[in-house]
Structure 1
Amino acid sequence: MSDLVLGAIDGCITTFAIVSGAFGAGFPPLVVLVMGVANLLADGVSMAVSNYEAVSAQRRFAEHARRTEEQHIRVVPEGEREEIRQIFANKGFSGENLEHIVDTVTADRTLWIDTMLSEEYGLSLVDPNPLASAWWTFVAFVVVGLIPLLPFFYAGDNFAQKFTISTALAGLVFFSIGLLKGWVFQTSLVRAGFGTFLLGSGAAGIAFAVGTILQQAFGVA
């Protein structure tokens, strides 16, 4: 889910920033369409590759940590057993309950290692899939990022009208993604929606300002 949200937000911000910057600079709609689609595909691939590398690195770290804990349990089992005792003692367990937990955890080698990875390293026990993360990041980036460009696929040179429609679509996308984030992480839906909306609006505003300044400074049109 985090891959979808990340890709969707970046995709919409990327393309709508291009729309805003081009509108501020006074470029024709065709330029927006060409720049938007080109950046959408190139940045989508870049995002997917970056996420693939990040998840792969995370997986390699988890595998290294697992091998390390396996070696520690094999070489110094009592030291690792004491670590389990300390972990659950810090959670408020004591006496016979604590010893029962320690005996139960250390009786199962897999459970023992998983507990150490989760509690000591803070690692998720769900094995990440780099290819799946890259794929869903790319799909979300391209599909959602395409939405602000939709008005520019239709004939006509009325940039102001196309920009208005694109702005409405982008605003709806930002707010919807925020709602999705709020639902997934069980936070305030309205706050999450408006937070993402403001994030996207701020990025688009910067792009619009840059386009306007450059147009006035260099007469780009």
Structure 2
Amino acid sequence: MPQQPLEHGHSREQIRARLARGPQVSYLRDLVFGGIDGAVTTFAIVAGVVGADLSPRIVLILGVANLLADGFSMAAANYSSTRTEVDEYAHLRAMEERHIEAVPDGEREEVRQILHAKGFQGSGLKQAVQTITGDRDRWIDVMMAEEHGLQPVQRSPMKAAGATFAAFILCGSVPLIPYVFGLEASIAASTALTGITFFVIGSVRSRWSPLTWWRAGANTATIGLAAAAVAYIVGNLLARL
């Protein structure tokens, strides 16, 4: 079986350079979340309106209105949630600073027990505790990661919101393309383009997933089109009332 290529080198120089750059902040989840939600919600509007047998003009009006309003709403919600994460980190870090100042021996004991649970013992445990607690920032970083499960690298609320909004608008515009150009059998073309969009999003996501690209793409396309089918059926049923 051929060996899968490694993602980065492991020479001393390569490791030093990679660690010097520090951990990278990822906005992949914001892009995927915005892209899938944009395509699903806009196509759901299209499918619902077509199912209700309304005109293509209504499809465009409601589709564009949903695209802008929902896109902004998603971006605002993501900004608020990411801002909450940043505020939580700042709050807990300030708390750890107060605790180290007020009860340093108690905080050292926390570090000792954390390291002991990881297998440190004897003189090695004592030396590790001394090394960590010998630098205040390093001490707090360890407590934030080990006690609260939080890392010092924080995501930017504005960048997270921007990534969500951009992906939402880009992918959410796809279901409307056939109606913009007045294509025949527009719902069929819209369904095909939206299915391709879902597949592409899933395939890109597979780079960070154990699933193969085609399986991840197929899963995402199935979920997205199922949501759209529900909207179409509901619109069709309501049109008959």
| Pairing 1:65-214 to 2, within 5 Å after superposition | 65-155=92-182, 158=184, 161-214=185-238
65 and 185 in structure 1: CA distance in 2 versus 1, 3 angstrom threshold = farther
CA distance in 2, matches of 1:95, 1:168: 65
1:190 deviates by: 3.4
1:155 deviates by: 2.9
**Structure 2 counterpart of 1:180, which letter?**
V
Q: Give unmatched runs, 5+ long, in structure 2.
A: 1-27
1:186 deviates by: 4.5
Identity %: 46
Bigger drift between 170-179 and 89-98 goes to 89-98
CA RMSD of aligned residues (A): 1.4
Asked if 1 retains the 8 angstrom alpha-carbon contact of 2:141 and 2:151, the reply is no
TM-score norm. by structure 2 comes to 0.84
Number of aligned residue pairs: give it: 214
**Structure 2 counterpart of 1:106, which letter?**
T
24 and 126 in structure 1: CA distance in 2 versus 1, 3 angstrom threshold = same
125 and 187 in structure 1: CA distance in 2 versus 1, 3 angstrom threshold = farther
Higher helix share: 1
1:200 deviates by: 0.5
**Structure 1 counterpart of 2:193, which letter?**
L
**Structure 1 counterpart of 2:186, which letter?**
K
**Structure 1 counterpart of 2:38, which letter?**
G
RCO higher in 1 or 2 (8 Å CA, sep ≥ 6)?
1
SS for the counterpart of 1:78 is: helix
187 and 89 in structure 1: CA distance in 2 versus 1, 3 angstrom threshold = farther
TM-score norm. by structure 1 comes to 0.92
**Structure 2 counterpart of 1:153, which letter?**
V
Q: Give unmatched runs, 5+ long, in structure 1.
A: none
Bigger drift between 82-91 and 181-190 goes to 181-190
1:187 deviates by: 4.0
CA distance in 1, matches of 2:222, 2:92: 40
The counterpart of 2:240, out of the listed 202, 216, 219, is 216
118 and 185 in structure 1: CA distance in 2 versus 1, 3 angstrom threshold = farther
